[in-house]
Structure 1
Amino acid sequence: MTSMIQLISPVDGRVYAERHCADAAQIDQALAAAEAAQALWKRRPLSERAACCSAAVDAMVAMQADIVPELAWQMGRPVRFGAGELRGFEERARHMIAIAPEALAKLEPTPVAGFRRQIRREPLGTVLVVAPWNYPYLTAVNTVIPALMAGNSVILKHASQTLLVGERFAEAFSRANLPAGLFHNLLLDHQQTAAIIASGRVQQVNFTGSVEGGKAMQSAATGRFLGMGLELGGKDPAYVRADANLEHAVENLVDGSFFNSGQSCCAIERIYVDENIYPAFVEGFVALTRQYVLGNPLDETTTLGPLVSPSAADFVRGQIAEALTLGARALIDPRAFAADAPGSAYLAPQVLVDVNHRMSVMREESFGPVVGIMSVASDVEAIALMNDSQFGLSASIWTQDLAAAEQLGDEIATGTVFMNRCDYLDPALAWTGVKNSGRGVTLSRLGYEHLSRAKSFHLRHEI
């Protein structure tokens, strides 16, 4: 008998859905079918692959009315924002489909008489996608669509907290008449996932999740020469220079800190502000933060939903409490947010000042609605603090000086540098990280290089 997975909704703490994990026979059948189907799929013209993938995107978007409330029940995002994930899903998917002919095109070096020389991109085989709950459609589509476009088959193991998302992917591909066996949605526990990675029956693993989860993926792959894409934690910083457009910076950094209740790998979790504008920035930031409405995500008036679980909220409460004991000041009164309740998943947003890097809230990933704000005296101090982290996913600079932003960006150890925006993935650019934020690349044409292999042809035709 396989284990049962229960999806506990953060909305009310009740079981929203439950499913059995796949059994050994189902896993074996899926892997065998994926291998057989991929051998045929890789020979299909790219135009046919694009037609199938585009039809699947159409099918997913058509399910929006059902998907939006499902997201609220599964992971707590307010329904007023649910459609945004589907728009992002569509943007990324359609971009990756559109650039596939160029990204997968053969490369021909300078001609040499009597020879034909080419580098072609070939599919890897079967790609295992291990997707998280916080942006369940966006994170999965980063790999699923380009993997299929590159000629691979896909096994999707979605987070148990968003298990219905995997079912939606399967339904979309079914409606699109994707050839049988190419895509499988499997509900797996940790041991089953590790066993698949260690089996040698998948050729690439793309994982989005925690640092500890990434280490578990690497451990499972020991002795196997397979590709590993890891998008892990973040503690993303922002630096607001004295010449920044203050109103724009406040508005966007509040959103970057608290959207999705701060549950984003590239959320803003620490802010450094030039001392000359620090008081005005903090005043504006706090005033805007107080406008959030914490409550049931099924209510259209709610702008801040619960965290994914009471334990996640308690972790953030613990970080705040520790910071306060070390001298930080909290500028938001949780009592102003009626839904905030100790021990529940509902947590008011919090802004901390008088913080420093001895505090966990400025060094360890919070993944919740809290942000620390520090005053800095110079660019040099700001860059040193931004780099004082085990993570490096994205960083943002708020200034009206493009040259300064580029120069400072060169000094930041991060995967993406933003100027005057944050918490966004542009599908035309590589999404990657440094240090404990992971390795590998998704999106852009570089993403295709991690989902295909180079094969050289050196053909002498004149003897």
Structure 2
Amino acid sequence: MGFNLPDTSIIPRYTAIVGDTRLERGGGSGWAHIYPANGKVTTELQLAGVADVEAAVAAARAALPGWRAGSSEIRRDLLLKLADAIEATAAELAALDTLGNGYPAMMAAYTPGVMAQRFRYYAGWADKIRGETLDAWNGPAHSYVNYEPYGVVGAIIPWNGPLFAAAMVLAPALAAGNCVVIKAPELAPFSVMRLAQLFAEVGFPPGVVNMVCGGADVGEAIVASSGVDKVQFVGSGNTAKRVLQTAAQTLKPCGLELGGKSAVLVFDDANLQEAAKLGLSGAVSVSGQGCVNGTRVLVQRSIYDQFIAMAQVMAGHISLGDPLLPTTVMGPLISAQSLARIEGIVARAQAEGARLVCGGERAGGDFADGFYMPLTLFADVDPNSALSQHEVFGPVLAITPFDDEDEAIAIANGTDYGLGAYIHSQNLRRAHTVAAQMQAGTVQVNTAGGGMQPYAPFGGYKQSGYGRLGGEQGLLEFLQVKSVWMNLA
């Protein structure tokens, strides 16, 4: 039977915003959005095409001189106005996120507030960008350093958290004085489409923020454009490799925030109940479709059986539901293709000897028409197996025992990824010692949600990407450095 369609009247009817023009029919192909909760079409749109990208880049370049040279106070105040507008339209933005990717309403409701925080944080930086004066020791001279915007930033963001990802890129890029062409993800574009219109509504000059909704050809056109000075990509490693290949043709700098296989380390002195609850959250949050989610749980052997039993009981209380209901904790996966891929991963894990504790089969009944997979726990997972080594991007948790700190650290670091790590221990020495040895850009201790604050840099090691979003480091990602040496002899 499946769930009914939500209210689709709030879906924006444009697929591109170029300068001061909203395009209801882009130059790309026709496209139908599928609501993940019931597999039904919500709307059909004419996507943006390569010509729309070229027009958006031209609009950004035309707006750049005025935006770059304008006072920093104007950028600050507009970003503050945008934060207010986000809060004023929070219910609409959250509903569009749920409609786009099946994000449970309970969680979607938090996103606009978190976004507003990020825009306010970077509004505070807009009028505080400063240079440096250097000691000119080799003669009478004046030597100084300036930080300047790149120019036009091309932003490509993912479908799993489009509003949050957009804010992570747009806030620092605009505060630094850049103009932006952002690609809304075609699988879940609606919230970003509406966000792009908010910039115009609060008074941003036309062309400062341009939005195109399209497929891979649109993303490639953004990266390839000679009018784009830097690319910020948030998404998968495989797509990032194609981004880099295209960017290499013009030696265009790229920032990459990519996937992860984050480890959760549970030591024998941890608060076991809290560690089990937070350990499950990596597979529960957005149905495991998060890059920094903890999806490998490493548990000290002396408490291993106790942890498995506790996690199994907790998992039994986590049920699937209609994303629109405020009580739903776990919603659907993004697509039928994603569901089929994860079913294949589950089958392979069983074939490789992992012990299935719960879940593992597509949900039926009222969920049969949607793309639902229940919380799935595997125990006794070999650290070298595919389930431990590769990103699932679904509600599947791999649990592995370890004997001591050294083994835990070796297993945690033993993948190609390095985005996040989570440590559960009441021993302060142990927590600091282990955190220092984690090959990960963000390490969280006795929590699972404290590392994404606007003031904190976020990014990865190894194949989880490079560059940082968040904090002062995130601002510097969108500024280039100029050294000036003036001879006074």
State TM-score, norm by structure 1. 0.94
Equivalent in the alignment of 1:458: 485
TM-superposition CA deviations, 1:72-91 (whole Å, max 9, x none): 22101111221111122122
Q: Mean alpha-carbon deviation: is it higher for 206-215 or for 310-319?
A: 310-319
- 1:365-444 residue pairs with structure 2 within 5 A? 365-423=391-449, 424-444=451-471
TM-superposition CA deviations, 1:252-280 (whole Å, max 9, x none): 22223311101100111101011111122
Q: Mean alpha-carbon deviation: is it higher for 446-455 or for 312-321?
A: 312-321
Secondary structure (helix, strand or coil) at the match of 2:422 reads strand
Shift of 1:29: 2.4
- Following the alignment from structure 2 to structure 1, what is the Cα–Cα distance between the partners of residues 365 and 92? 26
TM-superposition CA deviations, 1:214-254 (whole Å, max 9, x none): 01101111221221011111111011111111122122222
Equivalent in the alignment of 1:109: 134
Letter of the 1:197 counterpart: V
Secondary structure (helix, strand or coil) at the match of 1:301 reads coil
- Following the alignment from structure 1 to structure 2, what is the Cα–Cα distance between the partners of residues 56 and 315? 39
TM-superposition CA deviations, 1:401-441 (whole Å, max 9, x none): 22222222222211112111225412222211111111111
Secondary structure (helix, strand or coil) at the match of 1:2 reads coil
- Following the alignment from structure 1 to structure 2, what is the Cα–Cα distance between the partners of residues 58 and 178? 14
CA contact (8 A) 1:72 1:79 kept: yes
Equivalent in the alignment of 2:290: 264
- 1:301-380 residue pairs with structure 2 within 5 A? 301-333=327-359, 344-380=370-406
Equivalent in the alignment of 2:19: none
1:41 pairs with 2:33 = no
Equivalent in the alignment of 1:144: 170
- 1:14-93 residue pairs with structure 2 within 5 A? 14-93=40-119
CA contact (8 A) 1:322 1:359 kept: no
Secondary structure (helix, strand or coil) at the match of 1:276 reads helix
- Following the alignment from structure 1 to structure 2, what is the Cα–Cα distance between the partners of residues 401 and 194? 48
Q: Mean alpha-carbon deviation: is it higher for 450-459 or for 234-243?
A: 450-459
Equivalent in the alignment of 2:229: 203
Specify every segment of 5 or more residues in structure 1 that has no aligned partner in the other structure, as ranges: none
CA contact (8 A) 1:3 1:21 kept: yes
- Following the alignment from structure 2 to structure 1, what is the Cα–Cα distance between the partners of residues 393 and 184? 19
CA contact (8 A) 1:334 1:340 kept: no
Which one of 28, 31, 42 corresponds to residue 2 of structure 1? 28
Shift of 1:189: 2.4
1:275 pairs with 2:286 = no
- 1:290-301 residue pairs with structure 2 within 5 A? 290-301=316-327
Identical aligned pairs, as a percentage? 29
Shift of 1:338: 6.0
Specify every segment of 5 or more residues in structure 2 that has no aligned partner in the other structure, as ranges: 1-26
CA contact (8 A) 1:310 1:343 kept: no
The structure-2 alpha-carbon separation of the partners of 1:110 and 1:406, relative to structure 1 and needing over 3 Å to count, comes to farther
- Following the alignment from structure 2 to structure 1, what is the Cα–Cα distance between the partners of residues 373 and 364? 10
The structure-2 alpha-carbon separation of the partners of 1:435 and 1:333, relative to structure 1 and needing over 3 Å to count, comes to closer
- Following the alignment from structure 2 to structure 1, what is the Cα–Cα distance between the partners of residues 386 and 304? 22
Letter of the 1:105 counterpart: R
Which one of 152, 156, 169 corresponds to residue 130 of structure 1? 156
The RMSD of aligned alpha carbons is: 2.1
Secondary structure (helix, strand or coil) at the match of 1:127 reads strand
Secondary structure (helix, strand or coil) at the match of 1:108 reads strand
The structure-2 alpha-carbon separation of the partners of 1:28 and 1:322, relative to structure 1 and needing over 3 Å to count, comes to closer
- Following the alignment from structure 1 to structure 2, what is the Cα–Cα distance between the partners of residues 268 and 252? 9
Aligned length: 461
The structure-2 alpha-carbon separation of the partners of 1:339 and 1:245, relative to structure 1 and needing over 3 Å to count, comes to farther
State TM-score, norm by structure 2. 0.89
